[in-house]
Amino acid sequence: MIPELGQFSLVLATVLSVVLGVLPLWGTINRNTVWQSLARPTALLQFAMVLVSFICLSLAFLGNDFSVKYVAEHSNRLLPKLYQFSAVWGGHEGSLLLWVLMLTGWTAAVAVFSQSLPLNMVARVLGVLGLVSVGFMAFILLTSNPFDRLFPIPADGRDLNPLLQDPGLVIHPPMLYMGYVGMSVAFAFAIAALISGRLDAAWARWSRPWTVIAWAFLTFGIGLGSWWAYYELGWGGWWFWDPVENASLMPWLVATALIHSLMVTEKRGSFKAWTVLLAIAAFSLSLLGTFLVRSGVLTSVHAFATDPARGVFILCFLAVVVGASLVLFAWRAPAVTLGGSMGLISRESFLLLNSVLLVVATGAVLLGTLYPLVIDALNLGKLSVGPPYFNLVFAPLMVPLLFVLVPGTVAHWREARLNDMVYQLRWVGLGALLLAIVLPFMFGKWSAGTALGVFLGMWVALGSLQHVVERIRKPGRIGGSFWGMHLAHFGMAVLVLGITGVKSYEVERDVRMSLGDTVTIAPYTFRLVDMVDVNGPNYKATQAHVEVLKNDRVIEVLYPEKRRYFSSAMPMTEAAIDSGLLRDLYVSLGDPIAGDTPSWSMRVYYKPFVPWLWAGVLLMVFGGILAALDRRYRRRAVSPMQTAGEALSSAP
Amino acid sequence: MKWMLLCWMLLAPWAMAREAQPMAEDTQVEARLVVIADELRCMVCQNESLASSHAELAEDLRREVRKLIRDNKSDAEIKTYLVERYGDFVLYRPQVKPLTWPLWFGPFFMLLLAIWGLWRYLRLRKNALAMQHTMSTDTSHTAAHKD
Amino acid sequence: MNKKFLIPLALFAALVVFLAVGLTRDPREIPSPLVGKPAPEFSLPMLVGDKAFSPSDMKGKVWLFNVWATWCVACREEHPLLVEFSKQSRIPVVGLSYKEIQAQDQPNGPLKEADKLQLARERSLRFLQRQGDPYTLSVLDLDGSVGINYGVYGVPETYLIDRQGVIRYKRVGPLTPQILQDTLLPLIQTLEAS
């Protein structure tokens, strides 16, 4: 009964999304305000229907309804309730339903928080979002229906992949999807602007907060994924340049470029065509990511088990959506006006450089990710492109980006003088240089790479600090935008310092330990004191008790485990981590070793500055949220006079 | 007397406790193995390196690589050994050859192209705006000031 | 001025074409670099008897080299086909029993070599008795080192080797009637004629 209701709701939602995609847009063409005004209520109703559908699927999981094939494949009676719920998005079909829930959720949010927008803009934006929804809902109903039944009904389900039975995996996909899907809002605004010909500063101002919030979610989602991989996979890695990870990084890079480009369009009316293109690109990369993960075209640890037929559907959808957008772009963009003048050295040109570097970085990641596919398609063989390539190619692009960040924030609009900026930043530069030379010695070996990383991190951090201090001294209100920007930049600096620190100074010991044995990574000593058997709700585990000593005092006890889930043959490692401000201590239990005294293989890691990775990400996320909540975005509707004036200034 | 015996019994395991031995038989060889295996692909996994994979074939291949390291083979020779048997697919760092020139040099050329494009754009823009300004009517003049 | 706005569309179109072609490919199917190269030498104990076998023993003949194991589920798929083939075809099929003794057979630490050999022989012979024996002879690669030389990564695998001892074809995964019909048999004919 409930699954039927779920499917029915979804069908209703699809019908509503067709209505939303067609009528309001048609209403803007024939100036029918009644049709245009249908947009908001349809958007809200659409969301309600998808929510019902999602709730139905959740109830099917929580109620152990194994007559639903998707539930039987991803759940189990012994599975803890929390994971029975998160299993809803543990597989392909359910994760698509989550995607659609978020898409209609964002659409509804735009419907509610767009009171200051003219009706025809609202109609266009919601209309575009509706069209995108049609595609995804059709995909679900036609090829990936989570409500399909199973007969005969099994007594128990297969179980959720043990790797996914973890709190990190509960929030990582939803946050990531919020980011991916959020890019569709910027996309819809861009398409609406292209259709209406109304590509101006006002459009940029409307678009920006939505884009920044989506960016914040995406940052959070990627960070969560990284953090989860770090503590769950058992050997302390946090980024592998896996195709699916790249699929999330690429929209993030372009979205970062987009946010900065929107700034220029909003302030000076410039870069309109480029900003629109970035908005289209960000969403296109989101869609491309969906394709790569679900089509089976690339090998990845993250890939859902799917078939090429689904891949064909997504590819067609991708081709139609992006193709149509780019045709619209080629048609409308040439008519766009230039906006204000800018010198070769100005804030605008710095921001343009930011765009360029980020886009080239995205291009490099895209090239590396798709190269094996291209070579194979040309029948030239099979090759692999992995971390050695990406690390070598990506890092050098980030260096100029981080360097340019600081002068970019102090440069004047329109015209900036290089000498003035050098003078203004002299202490920042000297400070960063000094710290880059001195700090590495304090933590271990000095190397040019480490020094460069420290320099760039400190350069950005000190630059932000100086700017904030100077600004506080001046009178006047400081908006959320300002705080948000500096918090996010500071977060970036912390991230860079974290990466530099952990890559330069991490230590790993792979040892065999019996009870009482110790292993030392100065100044810490790890001692194995006990090994017990533990019973979990759906697993049995061997648990080690490891004391951590510093200066002969026990500061912590860690409990790494090796679990055997009833449903899976593969044993799972649960690493134990002691996090501090400056370092993580990481212990991973391996297999027992045959011998006279019982002993086990253990991996012990000293990971300095890893907590800075997560701190940096969180700072960036908060920075984004602060910036998006700036008061000026929540201003009331603009007066008709202002609107007329803006319309005049953007006339071709 | 009795408590002394008790103390001894309690302390004995700890008295025998020692610094744990490394899993690897030869840490020098192991260190080299990790560096090399990090850049090699596990042939039976869904995108994992030879260094980190727990698969049986990965264990076997690590054993082979250790043997080659002990025979004093260079990194390049070891990689060639594996490529002869498994093809280019086993290398995570693609070899630089005509087939992969677009891959290795692509980003650099993209950067050059982008910077050149940026330069040209700023230049052209300046000229276009200058032209627009001299041809301007009152409207566009007002617009520029509005910014 | 107008044309450059079409560049993004053109690039995207190229991307879509590559992705579409990519959908028709299997990213897990890796071509072997050993095709066209001489079959690597080895000397391994046979399943039956005390003699050792080496590929040079087959010089002058066209032969099939099939990698299998009793624990391999996919091997059972192709086994009947192999048996059928061995009955109908003149060319000999040599089996390579790959890593017959696994970790689960040695819960208390590694077995002695002689014990491993014996257990492997017993298990394999029992399997062949029950399922049919397509092999002229079978050799045992217990530690997988010969497999590595042949680039084995997924059992079952099959090699076609010509009169000069050069590998002419490799199949990763079970043989299917399709492959037999369309690729293997014609190739065998060509090689036999030379």
For the stretch A269-305, pLDDT in tens is 888 999 999 999 999 999 999 899 888 888 887 777 6
User: DSSP per residue over chain B, as a string?
Assistant: -HHHHHHHHHHHHHHH--BPEESSS-HHHHHHHHHHHTTBB-TTSSS-BTTT---HHHHHHHHHHHHHHHTT--HHHHHHHHHHHH-GGGBSS---SGGGHHHHHHHHHHHHHHHHHHHHHHHHHHHHHHHHHHT--HHHHHHHHH-
Between chains, do B21 and A512 touch, taking CB under 8 Å as contact?
A: yes
Between chains, do C148 and B43 touch, taking CB under 8 Å as contact?
A: no
Question: How many C-beta neighbours within 10 Å does residue A505 have?
Answer: 17
The answer to whether position C90 is within a domain reads yes
Per-residue model confidence (pLDDT) at position B12: 54
> What integer is the mean pLDDT of C76-86?
92
Top mean pLDDT of A97-106, A159-168, A569-578 is at A97-106
> What integer is the mean pLDDT of A407-431?
93
Place of tokens 């860690």: A558
Place of tokens 């596919």: A373
Q: Which of C164, C158, C163 has its CA nearest to residue C184?
A: C158
Per-residue model confidence (pLDDT) at position A169: 81
Between chains, do B57 and C151 touch, taking CB under 8 Å as contact?
A: no
**CB contact set of A593 (below 8 Å; sequence gap of 6+):** A512, A599, A600, A601
Q: Which of B127, C2, B113 has its CA nearest to residue A356?
A: B113
Chains near A with 3+ CB pairs less than 8 A apart are B, C
Return the minimum-mean-pLDDT range out of A71-85, A381-395, B3-17: B3-17
Length of chain C as a residue count: 194
**How many angstroms from the chain centroid is the CA of residue A183?**
11
For residue A522, what are its two tokens?
Answer: 């100065």
- Separation CA A582–CA A587 (nearest Å): 17
Please list every residue in chain B whose beta carbon sits closer than 8 Å to the beta carbon of residue A514. Answer: 20
Number of structural domains in chain C: 1
- The parent domain of residue C136 ranges over 38-193
> What rounded mean pLDDT belongs to chain A?
91
Query: Which residues are paired to A593 by β-bridges?
Result: A599
Provide the total of helices (H) and of strands (E) in chain A, helices listed first.
Answer: 20, 10
- The enclosing H or E element of A511 equals strand A507-514
For residue A638, pLDDT beyond 60: no
Please list every residue in chain B whose beta carbon sits closer than 8 Å to the beta carbon of residue C42. Answer: none
For residue C132, pLDDT beyond 70: yes
For residue B115, pLDDT beyond 80: yes
The 8-class DSSP code of residue C182 comes to: I
Per-residue model confidence (pLDDT) at position B14: 52
For residue A63, pLDDT beyond 70: yes
Of A341, A385, A519, the CB nearest to B103: A385
The answer to whether position C133 is within a domain reads yes
Interface with B, mutate which of C30, C34, C145, C148 (most B CBs under 10 A): C148
- Separation CA C170–CA C39 (nearest Å): 11
**CB contact set of A542 (below 8 Å; sequence gap of 6+):** A531, A532, A533, A534, A561, A562, A589, A592
Encoded amino acid at A252, one letter: W
The answer to whether position C29 is within a domain reads no
In this structure, what CATH number is given to the domain that contains residue C143?
Answer: 3.40.30.10
pLDDT digit string (tens) for A323-350?
999 999 999 988 887 777 788 889 999 9
Q: Which residue of A has its CA nearest to C6?
A: A330
Between chains, do A373 and C22 touch, taking CB under 8 Å as contact?
A: yes
Please list every residue in chain A whose beta carbon sits closer than 8 Å to the beta carbon of residue C19. Answer: 291, 297, 315, 318, 373
Q: Which residue of C has its CA nearest to B42?
A: C153
The 8-class DSSP code of residue A344 comes to: S
> What integer is the mean pLDDT of C166-190?
92
For residue A119, pLDDT beyond 90: yes
- The enclosing H or E element of C54 equals none
**CB contact set of C163 (below 8 Å; sequence gap of 6+):** C59, C60, C61, C62, C191, C194
For residue B33, pLDDT beyond 90: yes
> What integer is the mean pLDDT of A635-646?
48
> What integer is the mean pLDDT of A515-530?
92
Q: Which of A609, A608, A589 has its CA nearest to residue A600?
A: A589
Is the torsion defined by CA of A29, A31, A34, A37 positive or negative?
A: positive
Q: A233 by DSSP, 3-state: which?
A: coil
The answer to whether position C19 is within a domain reads no
pLDDT digit string (tens) for B42-64?
998 888 899 988 888 999 999 99
Encoded amino acid at A442, one letter: M
For residue B8, pLDDT beyond 80: no
Q: Could you tell me if the ipTM is greater than 0.85? A: yes
- pLDDT band of residue B13 (cuts 50, 70, 90) is low
| Angle between helices B56-70 and B75-86 in degrees, nearest 10 | 140
Length of chain B as a residue count: 147
Per-residue model confidence (pLDDT) at position A651: 37
Between chains, do A376 and C20 touch, taking CB under 8 Å as contact?
A: no
Beta carbons of C31 and A381 less than 8 angstroms apart: yes
The answer to whether position C56 is within a domain reads yes
C-alpha distances in Å from residue B3, one per residue of A516, B13, B14: 22, 17, 17
Quote the percentage of chain A above a pLDDT of 90. Answer: 74
